Structure 1
Amino acid sequence: MNTWIAIAATVLGCYAVKVAGLLVPAGVLERPLVRRLAALLPVALLAALTAQQTFADGHTLVLDARAAGLGAAAVALVLRAPFLVVVGAAVLVTAGVRAIAG
């Protein structure tokens, strides 16, 4: 039964956030600080998720093939490669390091 309570609380929380977003006055959304935060927040969240998935294994900090793949993707981004090339470079380097490491 505790699982259903958690699900219901999550549903209500998500709905409350949606309603709160609709109730924000338009003038608040047009402020430069709010617009800047809205533009930068998704990038920061994606970077945090990428770092967590790359360098963490449960509660342990790890440095393995995923870090090499992330490095290859970063180099491809600096070189302004297309998105599919960035992903392909990350995949190939990660697979290569895993194959070499055994």
Structure 2
Amino acid sequence: MRIWLSVLAVTVLSWLLKASAPLIVAHHKLPASVIRMTALTAPVLLAGLIVTELGGQEIDWTQLAGVGVAGSLGVLKVPMLVAVAGGIVATALIRLSVG
């Protein structure tokens, strides 16, 4: 339940940040670097929440490896369903090989 509340909070915060920008800068054009940086805010916060939730009391490195594989596939523009499946398969294979 806590993770869903965190995701909801990040979503609302992202919407507020995106909605407040036009109100604040009104008729000013923002530099491209600022636009790129603010576009990455929500994914970075969500990644932090995922790693924190996976960490919990004791870090399961196989889960972190699976999330890393899924994230890497996402960066390579693989469809999301395939990226998630790749992360699941990587986690399962690591757990099978380690025992």
TM-score scaled to structure 1, two decimals?
A: 0.53
Shift of 1:70: 1.8
**Cα offsets for 1:59-81 (capped at 9, x unmatched):** x5x35211220221133124321
What stretches of structure 1 of length at least 5 have no aligned partner? 1-13
Is the counterpart of residue 65 in structure 1 residue 62 in structure 2?
Answer: yes
The structure with higher relative contact order (CA 8 Å, sep 6+) is 2
Find the counterpart in structure 2 of residue 93 from structure 1.
Answer: 90
Identity %: 27
The aligned length equals 79
Query: After superposition, where does 1:1-102 map in structure 2 within 5 Å?
Result: 27-28=23-24, 30=26, 32=30, 36=35, 39-54=39-54, 56-58=55-57, 60=58, 62-102=59-99
**Cα offsets for 1:12-54 (capped at 9, x unmatched):** xx9xx9xxx6xx7x63264649x84763332221111122133
TM-score scaled to structure 2, two decimals?
A: 0.54
Cα distance between partner residues in 2 of 1:76 and 1:53 = 21
Alignment-mate amino acid for residue 42 of structure 1: A
Cα distance between partner residues in 2 of 1:74 and 1:38 = 20
Cα distance between partner residues in 1 of 2:42 and 2:80 = 18
CA root-mean-square deviation: 3.4
Bigger Rg, which one: 1
What stretches of structure 2 of length at least 5 have no aligned partner? 1-8
